[in-house]
Structure 1
Amino acid sequence: MDIDPSRRNKKPRLLLESERERLDEFIDSIHYSARYSDDKFEYRHVQLPKNMLKKIPADYFDSAKGTLKLLWEEEWRALGITQSLGWEHYEVHEPEPHILLFKSAVSVISRAPVA
């Protein structure tokens, strides 16, 4: 499940202040799923408000797929997505392009049984 570098901007494209301000109204409406995991990764999906997609700059999108590109951490944080360190945007749910899929390596501590 490696990240395809062709689905990202070559380097993070930071938002201009005016672009960031257009997104502020949506930040409180971003939905974060519960975490789920397998042996290698912890996962979660982040659901952006559908109207927010209209305010995100065009160069954040993959025109061939009609979805957001895979975003660098600096990019998804600039959109207002807040998560702990270590999360990586690895996929977009194409039927619902406002849903972004994230993964983080499972640590030994998080796999330890709870007493």
Structure 2
Amino acid sequence: MSIDIDFTRRNKKPRLLSDPEKDKLEEFIDNIHYSSRYNDDQFEYRHVQLPKAMLKAIPKDYFDNGRGTLKLLWEDEWRGLGITQSLGWEHYEVHEPEPHILLFKHPPTEAAGIIVKE
């Protein structure tokens, strides 16, 4: 099952954070909120809510200037921000009215034959 991602909304390759950039984000990590999982017949979903103040500490090249939101992040990028979830999640959208809310999806675990422990 393919997860359609608009790769034009991502950096061409993952842009990893420097140690000083990671240090600036450290204070926000404990306040990241993870929704419960929800699903339809194709995917399992969850949204991740970053503290609003955290957006100011994220490097500018993580943002889509045309939309005023974060770009779609590669796994290495969202993990670098301090988001922790099991393997297989893809950042596929940003909730534009609330740009601190990132939307993730992945194939249902039973369809992929994966046992997930979170």
Name the TM-score, length of structure 1 as normaliser: 0.92
Report the number of matched residues: 110
The aligned residue for residue 85 of structure 1 is 87
Q: CA RMSD in A?
A: 1.3
Q: Distance in 2 between matches of 1:26 and 1:80?
A: 8
Equivalent in 43, 58, 63 of residue 56 of structure 1? 58
SS in 1 for 2:30: helix
Which deviations, in whole Å up to 9, do the C-alpha atoms of 1:61-82 show, x marking residues without a partner? 0000000000000000000000
The aligned residue for residue 29 of structure 1 is 31
Q: Distance in 1 between matches of 2:97 and 2:39?
A: 22
Identity in percent: 74
Q: Distance in 1 between matches of 2:81 and 2:96?
A: 19
SS in 1 for 2:23: helix
C-alpha deviation, 1:107, in angstroms: 2.9
Unaligned runs of 5+ in 1: 111-115
Name the TM-score, length of structure 2 as normaliser: 0.90
The aligned residue for residue 45 of structure 1 is 47
